[in-house]
Amino acid sequence: MEETFAIKSDPELWAELDMDVERFKNIPPVLTEAFKNIFLSQTNRPKTMAYFDDMVKNIFTGRIREMVDAKGEGRPVIGTFCVYVPEEIIHAAGGVCVGLCGGSQGSIADAEKILPRNICPMVKSAFGFKVGRICPFFQVVDFVYGETTCDAKKKTWEILDRYVPTHVMEIPQMKRERDKKLWVEEVKDFKAAIEKLMGREVAEDELRASIETMNAKRLAMQRLNSLRHHNPAPISGRDMLLIQQIAFYDIPERFTEKVGELCDELEERIASGEYSAPEEAPRVMVSGTPMALPNWKLHNIIESLGAVVVNEESCIGTRYYKDTIETGGANEEEMLEELTKRYMKVDCSCFTPNDERIDQVLKEYRESGAEGLIDYCLQFCHTYNIEAVKLREACEREGIPFLSIESDYSPEDVGQLQTRVEAFLEQIEG
């Protein structure tokens, strides 16, 4: 597969989307080499990873064509930047929900022509993809839904609206009863906005069916995450990260089916003693800010040094799928309230106080069988950077080896990170 793998190009499709084709056509070959070096160089991968590799192969072509076809059927394509935006409502309306967080250094220079340099790389990367016209996902969306989880985001949405219609959802920064009421109203407003775009109301049975669809997706991911906790690990952390990233742009029903097939294979691998990492490999859990595709830097460093990543507590990780929604609501009002309850369990560092997240990290650490915790933070992400103080204190109380890392998307700090991670792994191994 390594010899034949190549991320596909479709200049005609990209031209239809008003992309900067001359500039973008250089990206698939570069990403192909990175993917081959990081993923296809691994040995003894599960056979069912072939589907997820194929999703990457078609990331700029086949999946984009599916979205263009959906638009042709009158189904809106809606971009999001945060796991707080309720995708159940988009799905219930027949729309396509796609994550737009940027994970590449290549678009940041475009963003810095307009935005300040000293803000979050994820925000700059996403914004740069749009203003540079070098992201087919950004070009295919009808509009995007932002949210107010951080200052850099909520102010950037005002400028992004000049390039693509951008709606903003207010996320309370506390979890009191008055905040819950505000959030329910925001969810109702979100639903009304989607219905206005569709020109029709979302029916109660459509909402219930969509909740069940997304619950099935989350349950499949919970099953997969539980299986990877086995020691020795039946799947690498790199592959698990890739699957979690793909979860944000694949068709939910298809993705759930393929994750289920992978889980079946992992159960067989465990039963037969076939693993992706040796039993003596140090087991590392990663927490912190999300790692949007193609941000594979930290996982690649950790596992290239002989360790295995066994859990991610992040928005591209357990925060996205650890909770499901109660579907027994007798009517639409109750379902929307239950939906809101589920989203309020997402422990983003934007909340204050946020002791629930510290407790959740420790819980997942114990469940994963990890032997050390690396807390990963993007530069200028102040909430996670400051929350790392409390997380470090909690790990010290529990006797958990802890390493805090602050980075961006550039390769310039890879050597330094390798040195720090290697020393951390030596600490774990004693």
pLDDT tens digits, one per residue of 39-83: 999 999 999 999 999 999 999 999 999 999 999 999 999 999 999
Residue 247 falls within a domain, yes or no? Answer: yes
Residue 1 falls within a domain, yes or no? Answer: no
Cα–Cα distance between 125 and 135 in angstroms, integer?
Answer: 10
Residue 248 falls within a domain, yes or no? Answer: yes
Q: Span 322-326, mean pLDDT?
A: 95
Q: Mutual orientation of helices 237-246 and 49-57 as an angle, nearest 10°?
A: 50
3-state DSSP assignment of residue 275: coil
174 within 8 A of 148, measured Cβ to Cβ: no
pLDDT higher than 70, residue 1: no
Name the token pair of 313.
């507590």
Residue 191 falls within a domain, yes or no? Answer: yes
pLDDT at 419: 98
Residue 261 falls within a domain, yes or no? Answer: yes
Name the token pair of 58.
């078609």
Task: State the pLDDT confidence band at 336, using cuts at 50, 70 and 90.
Answer: very high
Residue 3 falls within a domain, yes or no? Answer: no
Number of neighbouring beta carbons within 10 Å of residue 44 = 12
Residue 19 falls within a domain, yes or no? Answer: yes
Cα–Cα distance between 423 and 430 in angstroms, integer?
Answer: 11
Cα–Cα distance between 128 and 108 in angstroms, integer?
Answer: 5
Residue 414 falls within a domain, yes or no? Answer: yes
3-state helix, strand, coil in the chain (%, to 5): 55, 10, 35
Tens-digit pLDDT profile for residues 156-178: 999 999 999 999 999 999 999 99
Q: What percent of the chain has pLDDT over 70?
A: 99
Task: State the pLDDT confidence band at 122, using cuts at 50, 70 and 90.
Answer: very high
Q: Who contacts 407 (Cβ-Cβ below 8 Å, separation ≥6)? A: 297, 298, 376, 377, 378, 379, 413, 417
pLDDT at 3: 57
Beta bridge partners of 374: 286, 403
For the chain, the domain total comes to 1
17 within 8 A of 230, measured Cβ to Cβ: no
Name the token pair of 124.
């700059």
Instruction: Calculate the average pLDDT of the chain.
Output: 96
Task: State the pLDDT confidence band at 271, using cuts at 50, 70 and 90.
Answer: very high
Q: Who contacts 44 (Cβ-Cβ below 8 Å, separation ≥6)? A: 274, 275, 276
What residue type is 215 in one-letter code? N
Tens-digit pLDDT profile for residues 95-110: 999 999 999 999 999 9
Q: Span 404-409, mean pLDDT?
A: 97
- The domain containing residue 96 runs over which residues? 11-429
